[in-house]
Chains A and B, each alone.
Chain A
Amino acid sequence: MKKQIIKHLDLDLYEETLPNGLRIFVIPKNNVNNVYVTLSTKYGSADNEFVPLKEKDMVEVPKGVAHFLEHKMFAQKDGMDPLSFFTMRGASGNANTSNFKTTYLFSGSDYLEENLNYLLDYVQEPYFTLENVETEKGIITQEINMYKDNPYTEAFESLMLNCFKELPIRYNVLGSVDSINSITKEDLYCCYKTFYHPSNMFLVITGNVDKDEVINIVKENQAKKHFPKQEKIKRKTYKENKEVVKKELVMQRNIAIPKLLLAFKIKFDDIPLKNRIIRYYLSMYSQMKFGNISAFLDKLKADKIITSGMGVSLVAYKKDAALIYDAETYKPKELKTRILKEANLEGLSEEDFERKKKSFLASAIYLSDNIFRLNDKIMSDIIEEDEANTDVYDEIKNLNYQEFLKVMESISFDNVTSVIIKPEK
C-alpha cells in the first residue's frame, strides 16, 4: 500500500493496485459520518471506436452505448435492483456517464462491507437480455426528449458539433433516438468485456473509513473472481483540425431572451506543461478577462448588453479544448463582436492574477472538507493524468504570472464558432 500526504490539507491518500489490475484509492476522513464510494471505468461516450477484447480490428459502436450500458447494469439476474439494495441499507446509490468515464457509486455510513461488496458484484456481473434491452430504449428515448425541451442543452450540442470535426467529444453522452434504437445486446457485451475489465477500472473511497478494512474487503472480493488477461485497450486516436466545422448557427426556439454561446477552439500541443496547469491558466484567463471580476463584464452590464452574468467553461480532450462563453443578451451579435475584440492579452494585471490564485487556493481547501468533491477530484485526476494529484496546494501556489503570459501568448483565438438562440415569431 502506497501512502501519500495531501500537503497542507490535513489528509492522507492510500493507493493499492490488485493483481487483476483494479486500483483502489482511499482518503480517510474521520470527522464526518458519511462514506462515499465510487467505482469507475475509464470508458465514456467518447470511446466509440476501439479494438474489442481478443479481437484484431477496430469497430465502431452506436453512439450512446456507454450511457445505455450504465442504465442496463442496473438489471440483475436475480431481479434485485441495485438502487434498492443500497436503499435498504441506508445508503443511496447512483451512476453517471460522461465523455470519458462511467461511474457507479453509493454513499452511506452503515453496512459498508455489504454495500461495497455489492457494488463490486453488480458492476462485475452484467445481465443483458433481448427483452430488457428493448424496454430500456423506451426509457432513454424519454430521457433524450426531456433534454431536447431545454433550448440551452440543444444549443450546446450544436456548438460542440460545429466546433470539433473528429474528436468524439463533439457528440452528446446520450446518443440520438436513432442511434440508441440500433443498439443490440451484442454491442453491450462487446463494450462491457472490453472496458469493464478490472485493469481499466478504479475505486475511490472517501469518508469515515478504516483504510485497511476497506482495502481488505475489496481484496477478498476480487480474489474470488476470475478475469481473462487483458492487453492494453486500443482506442482510435483522432487528429483534429485547427479550424471549426461551422462558424455560425442561428436557431429559433420557444424562449424569452436570446442567448449566445461562443467557443474558441484551442490547441495546446506545443506547450510543454501538464494539461492541468494549462487548464488552470486558461480558466484564470477566462475569469480575469470575462468573469465577474472583469472590467469587460462591468461595461457590458452598463451598456445593457447582458442582463445577468456570463457563463465561462472549458471542454478539453487531451491537447484540444474549447473555451466557452454563454450569456443571455438582447444583442447577441454585438456581444459576439465584443468578446472577439476582447480576446487578447490587454488589461491583464499581476495583481488580479495573484488574487485569483488566492481564490483557487481557497477552493482547494474548501474541496478538502467535502468527501464528495474530494472523491470527484481524485476521479478526474485519474482520468486525465492516470495518477492522483496530492500536490494541488503547492501546484496552485507555484502558478506564476510570467508563465501565465507565456502560455496565453502561444494560444491562438482565431478559431471561433457560435450559436445564437432567438425567440420564435
Chain B
Amino acid sequence: MNYEKIEYPNYNLHLIQTKKFKTIHLLVVLKRKLKKEEITIRNVLSDILLETGKNYKTTRDLQIAKEENYACSLSSSSFKSGTYAVLSFSLSFLNERYTEKGMNDKSISLLFDLLKNPNIVKDEFEKKTFNYTMNSYKDYLESLNENPNRIAGVRLDEEMGKNTPLEYHASGYMEDFKKITAKNLYEYYQDVLKNDIIDIFVLGDYDKETMKEKIKEENIREEKNQKSESHFVKLPISKKTKKIVEEHEFMQSQLAMGYKIDKMTDFEKKYVFHALNFIFGGGNDSKLFKEVREKNSLCYSIHSHISYLYQTLIVNAGISKDNYEKTVSLVNQELTKICEGKFDLEDLNEMKIIYVNTCKTIYDSPNDLIRNYMSHEYFNHDLVEVRIKKILEVTKEDVIKLAKKLKLDTIYFLKGVRNEETDN
C-alpha cells in the first residue's frame, strides 16, 4: 500500500494505491464549520445531487448510465463530524481490467459530472427532481419518531450537549426544511462548491500520474481551499446527574445513560477509552452483557459505545419498563467494579487482540481503508500501523484511572406504554 497526500491550492488529493481489490473507490468530501441552520439544507443537497443531473434528466437516465458503467455505485451522505458538517460523495466501480478499457475515466467523469453540472433550470434546481427530493426528505423527517432507539439517542444528545454541536439533530429540522426553495438550494450549493474544504480520496490499483491528471482535468473548482481546524467538541460538565423519563407508544422501553469525561490525554482518548468501553459494555461479552443480559435476563440488547470527538460514553439497553431501576443499579454496579480494579487482566488482553484483529481487517475493506486515512487527516487519528502498536501499551491502571474520570451526566428513559406480550 502506498499513500500520498497532495495539497493543491483548490483541493487536497489523497492517493491510496493498493492491488488488493478488483474495484476503484473515490470519495469527494466537502466540509465546513457546523451551523445548526445549515444541517437540513445540506442533507437535501446530499439527496438531490445524485438523483438527476444536467446530463441525466431523470432518475431512470442516471440509473441507465450507472448500469452502462458496469453497475458502478454512487452514494452520498451528509453528517455531523464534531464541529464540522460533512457532505460526502462516493463512487466505486470495477477496475477496467475486469471490464473494458476506458471505463475508469468514464466512471470518474460520471461522479464529477453530477457534482459540477446539477440539474439546474433558470438558476434553480429543476422542479420535478426538487419536489420529489423534498417530499422524500419530508417523509423521512416525519417517520423518524417510529424508531424508539433513535428517539432515546437524540434526546440523550440534546440533554448532554446543550449549546454545543452535540445537541443538533443530524437528521435536520422541519422549520429549516420549510425555508428551502429550489432557488436558495442552488445558491447554497454554489457557496458549498466555492467555500467548503474539499478532500478527494482515491483508492485502488491505478497509475498515479494518470489519476492525478484525470482528477485535475475534472477541475472541481477554482477557489482556494481553506485550512481545516479541530473537529473536537468540548462539552460542559455539570456536577449533578440529570434524570429524565418520557412515555411513548412502544412495547419495549429504551434506557440510555450518558457519561462524560472532562480531561483526557491524547493516549487516553485514542486508546485507553477504547479499552474501557470494551470491558464495560462494548464487547460481545462485556461486563454489562454478562451481568444484565445473561445473568439477570433483563434485556435483549445492552451495549455501550464511545464518541472520540465528544469524549462521551453511552450505554443503551432495550428493556421492559418494570426493569428500569434494577438495570440502572446494575450498570452503576458494574462501573464501580471497574473503578475498583475488579476485572481480569485477561479482559484487557482480549480487547487488545480484538483491536489488533479489527485493525488488520481494515486492510480488507476499501471503505474502511479510506476512512482510516480520512480520520488521520481530520482528527489526527493514528494510522492503522501505529494503532496496532500503541494499543498494546494500555495497562490495567490506565483503565482504572480513566474509569474513575467517567461522570454520569444524564439518564434518559423512554418508557414504552403499549402492552407487552408476556410469558404466560
Contacts and interface: CB of A to CB of B under 8 A. Distances in A.
Interface string A152-180: 00000000000000000000000001000
Contact of B293 (A31, A139, A359): A139
A355 B69 CA distance: 10
Contacts of A177: 421-423
A256 B301 CA distance: 26
A294 B353 contact: no
A33 interface: yes
Interface string B124-153: 000010011001101110110110100000
B268 interface: no
Contact of B252 (A142, A257, A356, A371): A142
A355 B64 contact: yes
Contact of B148 (A91, A149, A362): A149
Given A142-B318, A292-B59, A34 B354 contact: no
A142 B300 contact: yes
Contacts of B294: 81
Given A257-B142, A297-B59, A358-B70, A90 B356 contact: yes
Contacts of B20: 31-32
Contacts of B22: 365-366, 368-369
Interface string A62-99: 00000000000000000001011001111111000000
Given A139-B300, A177-B423, A257-B142, A359 B357 contact: no
B21 to A, nearest CB: 6
Given A146-B318, A308-B139, A362-B71, A293 B354 contact: no
Nearest to B320: A142
A33 B19 contact: no
B249 interface: yes
B284 A34 contact: no
A160 B20 CA distance: 42
A298 interface: yes
Contacts of A108: 357
A328 B139 contact: yes
Contact of B346 (A32, A88, A142, A297): A88
Interface residues of A, number: 61
Contacts, number: 156
Contact of B68 (A31, A254, A358): A358
B353 A89 contact: yes
A137 to B, nearest CB: 7
B361 interface: yes
A148 interface: yes
B286 to A, nearest CB: 10
B146 A151 contact: yes
Given A83-B285, A292-B60, A32 B297 contact: no
Given A81-B285, A87-B350, A177-B421, A307 B64 contact: no
Interface in B55-106: 58-60, 63-64, 66-68, 70-71, 94, 98-99
B156 to A, nearest CB: 19
A114 to B, nearest CB: 12
A107 B297 CA distance: 27
Contact of B143 (A90, A139, A255): A255
B128 A302 contact: yes
B250 interface: yes
A141 interface: yes
B297 A358 contact: no
A109 B251 contact: no
B283 interface: yes
A149 B283 CA distance: 26
A293 B360 contact: no
A109 B353 CA distance: 11
Given A88-B350, A256-B139, A366 B60 contact: no
Interface size, B (range): 35 or more
A91 B357 contact: yes
B246 interface: no
A221 interface: no
Contact of A143 (B64, B283, B300): B300
A292 B135 CA distance: 17
A256 B145 contact: yes
Contact of B421 (A144, A294, A301): A144
Interface string B256-285: 000000000000000000000000000111
Nearest to B98: A365
| Interface-central residue, B63, B143, B250, B299, by most chain A CB under 10 Å | B63
A319 to B, nearest CB: 29
A273 to B, nearest CB: 24
Interface in A248-276: 254-257
B60 A295 contact: yes
B142 to A, nearest CB: 4
Indicate the member of B20, B138, B300 with the most A CB atoms within 10 Å: B300
A120 B420 CA distance: 38
A61 interface: no
A98 B283 CA distance: 25
Contacts of B21: 369
Contacts of A31: 19-20
B23 interface: yes
Given A256-B145, A355-B68, A84 B285 contact: yes
Contacts of B145: 256
A358 to B, nearest CB: 6
A355 B63 CA distance: 10
A347 interface: no
Interface in B390-424: 416, 420-424
A304 to B, nearest CB: 7
A75 to B, nearest CB: 10
B227 to A, nearest CB: 36
B363 interface: yes
A124 to B, nearest CB: 22
A139 to B, nearest CB: 6
B59 A138 contact: no
Interface in B326-359: 346, 349-350, 353-354, 356-357
Contacts of A337: none
Contacts of B23: 366, 369
A148 B361 CA distance: 35
A371 B363 CA distance: 13
5 contacts: A90-B354, A139-B293, A142-B252, A293-B64, A359-B67
Given A109-B361, A142-B318, A365-B98, 8 more contacts: A33-B364, A83-B284, A90-B356, A141-B422, A145-B252, A146-B318, A356-B67, A369-B22
Interface of A: 31-34, 81, 83-84, 87-93, 107-110, 135, 137-139, 141-146, 148-149, 151, 177, 181, 254-257, 292-295, 297-298, 301-302, 304, 307-308, 328, 355-356, 358-359, 361-363, 365-366, 368-369, 371
- Which 8 A-B pairs have CB atoms at the shortest separation, nearest pair first? A359-B71, A90-B357, A142-B300, A362-B71, A90-B353, A256-B142, A362-B70, A84-B285
